[in-house]
Chain A
């Protein structure tokens, strides 16, 4: 029969400073247990790739996409970075671009080589470059105006998740449908980064229905 030590004794033991040897033994025991747990994890889930050393990040290569004129592409992604890289690459290849984004224009210019293309900031802030997220009609006409007046036009439409929050899904689906028509009508191209986890399955079905979904490893 096991007898539990009296409570004051345990409290006293916890408050006593452990010896250096005890600490080392504790660490070693921890390493043994941790190592064993890692082996079990690897056995069940397979070997995990080693993370790169700090300051040596893996930069995902820009997926090769043959973007056809008149088409709208949806890039499933939790962040818009890859869409910006695709956009920048197309700009370098001679496309005339316009960006509508949740990122501040200053940040866009600092992080991506987008040249001098117009950047509209989806924000409720009262600035010259901001665009109201609830005035979807004006936004659609901005896109229509751009693709109808430029050669080889390319639009990056980022911030769909924000538009859904500010409006509602049905309105945003109607908006995407409207701008997709403008893109098709003027042989333009459009890239829409979108976090597929931000809506449920029916929402995903509505948004992706008429768009070319790019398959890549996020």
Chain B
């Protein structure tokens, strides 16, 4: 797919294929954005990110790469297949990169003082080099990185904001649209460095309703260059797909 980024050409959007949500986003995610998908555990951040890659591969023939730093590939595939996603259907278009194994290897090497201390530069360099290598062999347009907290832990980022600024800048330089998964506390008033640095922020929460039920909610907190809705929606996974509905 040939794309021109000059200002005169209309902005290219990637749909989330979350039924009802793309309209709220004003069409989807603009090309080149670094998007944060944030939320507490259990809010389906990873599933949502993968589903965006999966649906774009099936419906638009767009290549994607999913980098997992913590959950193993087999565990992720089991989870996604239980949701009805057929990985074989998109195996030539969506690559799942299990970096948890690479990370463990590096940890081992670090133990042998291969990289010396501090370790943040080598690990981040290895990660970046690996992503660039993947992109060379599999020119993806969509990238999901799961997850930022794990990346921070293993990189030992000391000057957090500066390092994240550099990392997000590097992600933008890749020329793809990326989704960085971030785990945050359920407190919606807490603002993190990455919230400022990312081009867009999708915030997922869980809310107790009627004393007995708990619903997942999704909200687009920000999306640079797009007149999007900031409303809160109920997020559901039903009949093989995500959908949102209004909250009453």
Separation of A65 and B189 alpha carbons in the complex (Å): 53
B213 touches A138 (CB 8 A): no
* Stretch of A21-29, A43-51, A166-174 at the chain-chain interface: A166-174
B213 touches A137 (CB 8 A): no
Whether, in the assembled complex, B191 has its beta carbon less than 8 Å from a beta carbon of chain A, the answer is no
Separation of A138 and B216 alpha carbons in the complex (Å): 13
Interface string of A176-218 (1 = CB under 8 A from B): 0010000000000000000000000000000000000000000
Whether, in the assembled complex, B236 has its beta carbon less than 8 Å from a beta carbon of chain A, the answer is yes
Contacts of B95 in A (CB 8 A): none
Contacts of B234 in A (CB 8 A): 135, 137-138
* Stretch of B33-41, B69-77, B137-145, B240-248 at the chain-chain interface: B240-248
Chain B, range 140-165, C-beta contacts under 8 Å to A = none
A171 touches B248 (CB 8 A): yes
Separation of A124 and B213 alpha carbons in the complex (Å): 10
Contacts of B20 in A (CB 8 A): 141
Chain B, range 7-34, C-beta contacts under 8 Å to A = 20
Main secondary structure of the interface of B (DSSP, over half): strand
Contacts of A175 in B (CB 8 A): 248
B246 touches A140 (CB 8 A): yes
Whether, in the assembled complex, A132 has its beta carbon less than 8 Å from a beta carbon of chain B, the answer is yes
Min CB–CB distance A114 → chain B (angstroms): 25
Residues of B in contact, count (CB < 8 Å): 13
Separation of A134 and B210 alpha carbons in the complex (Å): 6
A136 touches B248 (CB 8 A): yes
Nearest residue, chain A, Cβ from B247: A137
Residues of A in contact, count (CB < 8 Å): 16
Given the known interface contacts A135-B234, A137-B234, A138-B236, the answer about A178 and B213 at a Cβ–Cβ threshold of 8 Å is: no
Whether, in the assembled complex, B113 has its beta carbon less than 8 Å from a beta carbon of chain A, the answer is no
Contacts of A178 in B (CB 8 A): 246, 248
Q: Name B246's contact: one of A132, A133, A141, A171 (CB within 8 Å).
A: A141
Nearest residue, chain A, Cβ from B213: A134
Separation of A199 and B29 alpha carbons in the complex (Å): 46
Nearest residue, chain B, Cβ from A133: B210
Q: Name B213's contact: one of A132, A140, A171, A174 (CB within 8 Å).
A: A132
Min CB–CB distance B245 → chain A (angstroms): 4
Separation of A66 and B144 alpha carbons in the complex (Å): 57
A166 touches B210 (CB 8 A): yes
Whether, in the assembled complex, B1 has its beta carbon less than 8 Å from a beta carbon of chain A, the answer is no
Min CB–CB distance A116 → chain B (angstroms): 21
Contacts of A124 in B (CB 8 A): 212
Given the known interface contacts A135-B215, A135-B234, the answer about A140 and B248 at a Cβ–Cβ threshold of 8 Å is: yes
Min CB–CB distance B3 → chain A (angstroms): 34
Nearest residue, chain A, Cβ from B236: A138
A137 touches B245 (CB 8 A): yes
Please name 24 pairs of A and B residues whose Cβ atoms are closer than 8 Å in the assembled complex, sorted by A.
A124-B212, A132-B213, A133-B210, A134-B209, A134-B210, A135-B215, A136-B248, A137-B233, A137-B234, A137-B245, A137-B246, A137-B247, A137-B248, A138-B236, A138-B245, A140-B245, A141-B245, A141-B246, A166-B210, A167-B209, A174-B248, A175-B248, A178-B246, A178-B248
Chain B residues engaging chain A, CB cutoff 8 angstroms:
20, 209-210, 212-213, 215, 233-234, 236, 245-248
Q: Which 4 residue pairs of A and B lie closest in terms of their CB atoms, listed nearest first? A: A136-B248, A134-B210, A137-B245, A137-B246
**Told that A134-B212, A137-B246, A140-B245 touch, could you supply 14 new A-B pairs with CB distance under 8 A?**
A124-B212, A134-B209, A134-B213, A135-B209, A135-B234, A135-B245, A136-B248, A137-B233, A137-B234, A137-B245, A138-B234, A138-B236, A140-B246, A141-B245
